[in-house]
Amino acid sequence: MSDLQSIETDARARIAAAATPADVEALRVEFLGKQGSISGLLKTLGKMSPEERQSEGPKIQGLRADVQDALSERREALEAAELEARLAQETLDLTLPAPEAPKGSVHPVSQVMDELAEIFADLGFSVATGPEIEDDWHNFTALNMAETHPARAMHDTFYFPEKPVDHALDQGERTGRTLLRTHTSPVQIRAMVERGAPLRIIAPGRTYRSDSDATHTPMFHQVEGLVVDEGIHLGHLKWTLETFLKAFFERDDIVLRLRPSYFPFTEPSVEVDVGYATEGGRRVVGGDGDAPGHAWMELLGSGMVNRRVLEFAGVDPDRYSGFAFGCGIDRLAMLKYGMNDLRAFFDGDARWLSHYGFTPQEQPTLSAGVGAAR
């Protein structure tokens, strides 16, 4: 066997034994690189006589071409095998159950707001909104709250610095200091100023007070109701609240007790209590609060809109009268769905939400019963 033949046999054996494309590359360098053994053989041609070169040249060139082909073949085979292996490993089993996608849920406060809108829409009310960054005039003055009213104190209300902050400015005309609205009642004023009478609105939304314990959070939710028309009286108020609460709690035995009270923006003013029983440590709304095993719970404030408030808002108090009410939404949600700590509403604990939250499919409808199915 000539030298060249044994070199080729040896090279082929080693190429066949290469296990990875990297091994093939190492062999290419060893044989054909600048310092490679076959490249070395080619260099010897220069020192040969012309006759020798004529006979040896083609053999060495042939050897180089053969080794080159063997290397490429082996590299392709190894790469194909690698791809095969990867594809085999990445096979998807389409019969496996899909992992459950994380689902969002509707916060109980949002759920109750939807329920309110649904119930009051049926009574001819539309939903009105106003800014959470309010001015002193809408939040207090136009609601007939005197300069000295305790709610105006710094320790009750979150005020902004004297100079209104920029983002407060683009929310319409403002007078006085800006603050985080302490109730939804300023929406009454805005609605009357913008739309005049007659009017039927509810205004659900966020409200803020400097207060924090198990039953008070600095941010909470209220819904305001306002009806202004000719001939509106206290009977309309009572009927509306009764109808609303029966639909909301999905019970016919809702009993209300109206107690005389005082709010600067209503005259007369009434506080509304609802009868309830305690069942298994939980308050269940329904029944006469004076009946055995029952008690009264304060639910909301209301009354006939004060003449001065109508005047402030540009409504003629000699032609129109109205009633208004304001109620905590968080309290409504707690009562209806049996939660006991208000702070949990705003902790953002996903476990609490998955326990009390609602799936987006559970939209309230009057035909299906307005409450979420549970």
Q: How far is the CB of 279 from ligand DAH (least distance, A)?
A: 29
Q: To which H or E segment does residue 267 belong?
A: strand 266-279
Contacts of ligand DAH in 236-275 (CB under 6 A)? 263, 265-266
Contacts of ligand DAH in 223-242 (CB under 6 A)? 224
Check residue 218 and report its DSSP letter: S
**By CB under 6 A, is residue 204 in contact with ligand DAH?**
no
Give the Cα separation of 108 and 85 in Å (integer).
52
Region for 40 from its dihedrals, namely left if φ exceeds 0, alpha if ψ lies in -120 to 50, beta otherwise: alpha
CA angle 352, 334, 328 (to 5 degrees): 125
Nearest to 313 by CA among 171, 182, 130, 116: 130
CB 224 within 8 A of CB 184: yes
CB 180 within 8 A of CB 132: yes
Which residues on neighbouring strands pair with residue 322, listed in sequence order? 228
Given the complex with ligand DAH, which of 116 and 353 has the nearer CB atom?
116
Given the complex with ligand DAH, which of 224 and 330 has the nearer CB atom?
224
Given the complex with ligand DAH, which of 244 and 263 has the nearer CB atom?
263
Q: How far is the CB of 310 from ligand DAH (least distance, A)?
A: 13
Q: How far is the CB of 158 from ligand DAH (least distance, A)?
A: 14
Region for 94 from its dihedrals, namely left if φ exceeds 0, alpha if ψ lies in -120 to 50, beta otherwise: alpha
Q: How far is the CB of 185 from ligand DAH (least distance, A)?
A: 4
* Contacting residues for 272 by C-beta, under 8 A, at least 6 apart: 241, 256, 257, 258, 259, 298, 299, 300, 301, 302, 325
x/- map, 309-338, ligand DAH, by CB under 6 A = ---------------xxx------------
Nearest to 39 by CA among 10, 61, 17, 6: 61
Given the complex with ligand DAH, which of 208 and 249 has the nearer CB atom?
208
Backbone angles phi, psi at 164, to 5 degrees: -60, 140
# residues near ligand DAH by CB under 6 A: 12
Q: How far is the CB of 361 from ligand DAH (least distance, A)?
A: 34
Q: How far is the CB of 224 from ligand DAH (least distance, A)?
A: 5
Give the Cα separation of 118 and 202 in Å (integer).
11
CB-nearest residue to ligand DAH: 326
x/- map, 155-184, ligand DAH, by CB under 6 A = ----------------------------x-
Given the complex with ligand DAH, which of 133 and 324 has the nearer CB atom?
324
x/- map, 205-224, ligand DAH, by CB under 6 A = -------------------x
- Residues near ligand DAH (CB under 6 A) are 183, 185, 224, 263, 265-266, 301-303, 324-326
